[in-house]
Structure 1
């Protein structure tokens, strides 16, 4: 793994909070006004717990704060939204009047009624006026939530029987005929799900119960029923569905077994699945999930709120392939180095797909090794100002022809220069190609469409394609397979249409796929597997040929003449564009015939050149 700069301070100026519903500055000001509470310093392994005196619903909230060793006392952790700081209610803590928001007050009332009287709640158990203590406690969030006997996730007061309707549905839901979309919509509309910090709180807790008004539902029940909803395409159109699905998926990945927490989720995936959550402090989009990732401490060893978001993004350490992650439909920002992942752009557009897909079709999970076996090892350097990433590698080829652009609002124009030729000329040209024969070229084109990977299952998405898929390619424009294609998204259909007229060695793609002499038909399952595996449109890729005659797919923003380079530490080729004093990174590419290190293995390591990525 390339060691990007580890120039971080130790959480200087860090702060807890960062949800859409919370005015954090007002929250801190409220805490500063709590001068009546005497907060004694915490020892290294101590936390404070809040004990609520029992009482009737109409009785005031009276509490005491006390110190305890984190493992010495059974307590319940509270996960909640702070709420509107302008709508406050007084409670009594250690004989002092303390204002809390209406939402927290309602949570404390219900917790007391449900007999949860020994609790940990950040707003009161952390001295918010003491920066040193606040920073230290933030670093302990993982232990605080994991050690809690239970975490109560307060969704808010039930103001219209929505909780009863929703929780009863999710408790009883077994069959699709039982679907109650009003119940689902009610749950998805809860503001609690928008907070970035709740992802860590839910994922790190050993036991979670959602409390909405008087009604309860376990995290396990919600996860199980949401897994069933994934089989219903209509669910994806509901506002909030994707956000909650991402939260539950991260929690499931972190919990490897009952009662244990051991994260299998990496930072890149966590950032992807949480891309739709909100944070008033943008840095919390990163810092709020570090504690639940398997590589967060390594990638961002010392988060620092004192640094700009762009600096943090630039210095995040990840496998080198991560620098190719972007929103391919949009040109890169000119005010940000081209090698920096523009996470805010992905967050704003809610494009979690590119990140999720990138783990499967590029990077350490893809199985590609275009740049040798040592994908995680690379020697990278930075310019003195930290704006230029200096990597090493080889120029392999240049982009010669590209299939046309196809996104909405773009003019249908062809960038390729190839022209139709006779069958004889095509065969003769194929024999001169890197693939050596017509059969070799045919196989290369077929495998390029699926990047030599086939959908296997939801847990292990891609495996190397078998030879039987060439039979499906021959029937790609048959009536049966066209029916399957029409069931794919409109975006995929546009990409497929754009590629169908692309000339490869003088023949259009659909001419390569058409075999009128073929009488062997593929099974429906195999045909569907082939269509599901086609990479056209996924991450907005486009077909290309190179100057040396290779066939492949390239980034949507690629242009003819761009360089295809193999960079030490990456798993896939990268497309670079010369600029003043160096190169701009365009994105990644698939080039059939070099993805397993065939070209890399023949190169002299002493002949590597440096690329200054700007």
Structure 2
């Protein structure tokens, strides 16, 4: 798109000068049949404050660009921008707006960076923000009319009361207003038509864009338009609030939209509303206090949303993440791959591992040139590849400080691969020709501190169809049959193996994300199994265990696994036998690793480079696959056992014997002090501090 107007750029745009300079677009009046005509006005934020409307819309596809007249020149713009300006144009008077596609010289990298750095000022000091959701259709007409009819004050108060509640009791959500009431689900008409329309409406592309998380929250007066209909922002929030389920249950069967996408977009609306409450306390009867957060706490949320430019997954956070400018500079000349890898390197060296939630082969797109340890924020893959972690989990010990100013102890480091290995990771021409020493990060390895490693020896099947009950029963029965053949029928943490199996499938959490034990597993297992085999089963009779299994992603997104020394795990569906389950110091879940086979070995003749051993090379480096749950090891047991019994990684036989003597075979004072029981002694050989090198 930057090349569309290359012949007139110098005539259309003059350099921006002064303090916080901007351009505004004065849209001349006209009828729908008239050509779009406008002029660019150079000014500053200080001079223009309160005298313009800032627009928010989805850039959309570059296909089918349109033409308009600006400053007497024939200018090409993307269709979404053209359609929005056409809808906003008045027939009787000019309208002054700020629109990024035209008011910023998109071909000027330095100007783009400079304007992005003051974006929050542009939106906060506008007279109003106008959100354009796109051209109208039958669904939007029904939805906008419904949104305008809602009792907004009542729903705002309800949301605020729940948000401000000091209790974390799940029951409080059962009392919220909800569009899909059970009795209404059975009404065939006209409710299903309205329900489908509302879900289609909330799934419009605008709600999934990363930039709107900042910009829609900044201005007191924010209006939402779709076609010729307009409502206030609070009406849109009230609509989203009505669509937010009371529990983790799914929508009625007649709703065909992806529920993950729907819930993701509703969460985006909630995030915006939460920030508006903090900014404009007098509007929402709150303290009006904006809470800034460190970058790492915002990244996972940001990655769930879309952006035309991959770099904007980070740059869009420069206002709400108080420490953003310490981790990166806004630079649209820097390739996104190098930006992602460089930010990951900095986090790693400051002991902050939250970025791994977006790293690993299961989260990286097939075209990614990133090392497996670097996050791919382009697509957060929220839902299918994300393990819902519990607040109490800390398999690698407590999380380190997330502040750049007070760095924690390094969790690892990044190093250049040996020359022979680098040659196997060839970069595309645009990256190879880029002049910046940081591009070496794309051909490097990262060393992570690990406390536990063990090899997967059994891997369950996974479902291709979540509604295939026979396949579900087959998977579960096969797992239980395999478990019955294991030498010990007591799990390392003291439970029976069947109970440990159930707890692994549900991440030891109930439908309210409360930690549960073997009694909970035993109590609810038969109800779940009977429900599966009932030919008349339905969601109205669904047992609580099914909610927990759906929430964990077991059997579909994640699969059950057993390691060589007996750990029960839940691992990504892409995991393979002989992959390694590990615990990284400072990370909140376990990980799955795979021994690296360089491309020249995977796709070539299988010969290792001259003077080296293929086996040694393959074993020296790993690739990160994704997250894992390791039953019985999720609350820092690895560190406690290592410190108590002086565990060594890859121990010699004398060292194993020393550890066993120190442990009193699991029956001594130390075990009682640690609160351990069962068969922990059998996994001593898997523990010990060591480094894992990942490419």
What TM-score do you get using the length of structure 1 for normalisation? 0.70
Structure 2 residue aligned with 1:398, among 437, 451, 455? 455
Mapped to 2, the partners of 1:165 and 1:402 lie a distance apart of 49
What residue is the counterpart of 1:139 in the other structure?
117
Q: 8 Å contact 1:155–1:192 — kept in the other structure?
A: yes
Mapped to 1, the partners of 2:203 and 2:496 lie a distance apart of 54
The alpha carbon displacement at 1:148 in A equals: 2.0
Structure 1 residue aligned with 2:692, among 608, 611, 614? 611
Structure 2 residue aligned with 1:541, among 553, 558, 574? 558
Structure 1 residue aligned with 2:334, among 303, 307, 328? 307
Mapped to 1, the partners of 2:633 and 2:196 lie a distance apart of 52
The alpha carbon displacement at 1:309 in A equals: 3.2
The alpha carbon displacement at 1:180 in A equals: 2.5
1:353 and 2:370 equivalent? no
Please give the per-residue CA displacement for 1:226-250, whole angstroms capped at 9, x wherever unaligned.
3323444457524885775464344
Please give the per-residue CA displacement for 1:240-272, whole angstroms capped at 9, x wherever unaligned.
857754643442454344626656671112212
- Which moved further from structure 2: 229-238 or 589-598? 229-238
What residue is the counterpart of 1:202 in the other structure?
216
The alpha carbon displacement at 1:173 in A equals: 6.0
Mapped to 1, the partners of 2:195 and 2:38 lie a distance apart of 40
The alpha carbon displacement at 1:463 in A equals: 2.9
Mapped to 1, the partners of 2:536 and 2:585 lie a distance apart of 38
Higher relative contact order (CA closer than 8 Å, sequence separation 6+): 1
CA gap of 1:64–1:558, structure 2 versus 1, over 3 A, is closer
Please give the per-residue CA displacement for 1:291-334, whole angstroms capped at 9, x wherever unaligned.
46537816852243333333233233364254364574999889
RMSD: 4.6
Mapped to 2, the partners of 1:450 and 1:62 lie a distance apart of 59
What residue is the counterpart of 1:517 in the other structure?
none
- Which moved further from structure 2: 596-605 or 52-61? 52-61
The alpha carbon displacement at 1:152 in A equals: 0.8
Partner of 1:600, secondary structure, is helix
What residue is the counterpart of 1:218 in the other structure?
232
Mapped to 1, the partners of 2:412 and 2:524 lie a distance apart of 41
Q: 8 Å contact 1:566–1:574 — kept in the other structure?
A: yes
The alpha carbon displacement at 1:182 in A equals: 7.4
Structure 1 residue aligned with 2:592, among 570, 575, 578? 575
Structure 2 residue aligned with 1:77, among 24, 37, 54? 54
CA gap of 1:128–1:421, structure 2 versus 1, over 3 A, is closer
CA gap of 1:575–1:73, structure 2 versus 1, over 3 A, is closer
- Which moved further from structure 2: 552-561 or 211-220? 552-561
Mapped to 1, the partners of 2:465 and 2:199 lie a distance apart of 30
1:369 and 2:345 equivalent? no
Please give the per-residue CA displacement for 1:395-449, whole angstroms capped at 9, x wherever unaligned.
343323232344469x999999997798xx98x8335x5235xx55555334223
CA gap of 1:597–1:487, structure 2 versus 1, over 3 A, is farther
1:43 and 2:18 equivalent? yes
CA gap of 1:222–1:370, structure 2 versus 1, over 3 A, is same
Please give the per-residue CA displacement for 1:66-97, whole angstroms capped at 9, x wherever unaligned.
42344862132122356777421325x4xx55
Mapped to 1, the partners of 2:328 and 2:397 lie a distance apart of 28
Mapped to 1, the partners of 2:353 and 2:126 lie a distance apart of 38
Q: How does 1:72-151 map to 2 (within 5 A)?
A: 73-74=49-50, 75-80=52-57, 86-91=65-70, 93=71, 96-97=72-73, 99=75, 101=77, 103-104=81-82, 107=85, 110-112=88-90, 117-128=95-106, 130-151=108-129
CA gap of 1:539–1:77, structure 2 versus 1, over 3 A, is farther
Q: 8 Å contact 2:207–2:269 — kept in the other structure?
A: no
Q: Which has the higher helix share?
A: 2
Q: How does 1:291-302 map to 2 (within 5 A)?
A: 291=318, 293-294=320-321, 297=324, 300-302=327-329
Count residues with an aligned counterpart. Answer: 524
Extract unaligned runs of 5+ from structure 2: 152-178, 181-189, 246-250, 281-287, 402-407, 417-439, 597-617, 649-687
Q: How does 1:116-195 map to 2 (within 5 A)?
A: 117-128=95-106, 130-156=108-134, 164-172=141-149, 178=191, 179-180=193-194, 183-184=197-198, 187=201
The alpha carbon displacement at 1:590 in A equals: 2.0
CA gap of 1:190–1:586, structure 2 versus 1, over 3 A, is closer
Q: 8 Å contact 2:384–2:557 — kept in the other structure?
A: no
The alpha carbon displacement at 1:36 in A equals: 4.8
Mapped to 2, the partners of 1:487 and 1:268 lie a distance apart of 34
Structure 1 residue aligned with 2:3, among 1, 4, 25? 25
CA gap of 1:152–1:173, structure 2 versus 1, over 3 A, is same
Mapped to 1, the partners of 2:343 and 2:538 lie a distance apart of 39
The alpha carbon displacement at 1:145 in A equals: 1.3
Q: 8 Å contact 2:396–2:584 — kept in the other structure?
A: yes
The alpha carbon displacement at 1:189 in A equals: 8.6
Partner of 1:180, secondary structure, is helix
What residue is the counterpart of 1:587 in the other structure?
626
Structure 2 residue aligned with 1:430, among 473, 489, 496? 489
Mapped to 1, the partners of 2:573 and 2:477 lie a distance apart of 12
The alpha carbon displacement at 1:217 in A equals: 1.8
The alpha carbon displacement at 1:388 in A equals: 0.5
Q: 8 Å contact 1:167–1:217 — kept in the other structure?
A: yes
Q: How does 1:319-330 map to 2 (within 5 A)?
A: 319-320=352-353, 322-323=355-356, 325=358, 328=362
Structure 2 residue aligned with 1:470, among 508, 521, 529? 521
Mapped to 2, the partners of 1:533 and 1:354 lie a distance apart of 15
Mapped to 2, the partners of 1:485 and 1:561 lie a distance apart of 41
Partner of 2:634, secondary structure, is coil
Mapped to 2, the partners of 1:294 and 1:233 lie a distance apart of 38
1:565 and 2:582 equivalent? yes
What residue is the counterpart of 1:445 in the other structure?
501
Mapped to 2, the partners of 1:266 and 1:114 lie a distance apart of 44
What residue is the counterpart of 2:44 in the other structure?
68
Q: 8 Å contact 1:270–1:293 — kept in the other structure?
A: no
Mapped to 2, the partners of 1:332 and 1:124 lie a distance apart of 33
CA gap of 1:463–1:126, structure 2 versus 1, over 3 A, is same
Please give the per-residue CA displacement for 1:554-613, whole angstroms capped at 9, x wherever unaligned.
333333443332222212232333342322223332222221111212325996222111
What residue is the counterpart of 1:290 in the other structure?
317
Q: 8 Å contact 2:68–2:76 — kept in the other structure?
A: yes
Please give the per-residue CA displacement for 1:198-231, whole angstroms capped at 9, x wherever unaligned.
4543344444212234320222212221332344
What residue is the counterpart of 2:374 in the other structure?
340
- Which moved further from structure 2: 379-388 or 173-182? 173-182
1:382 and 2:414 equivalent? yes
Mapped to 2, the partners of 1:255 and 1:68 lie a distance apart of 25
Mapped to 2, the partners of 1:45 and 1:584 lie a distance apart of 45
Mapped to 2, the partners of 1:191 and 1:586 lie a distance apart of 30
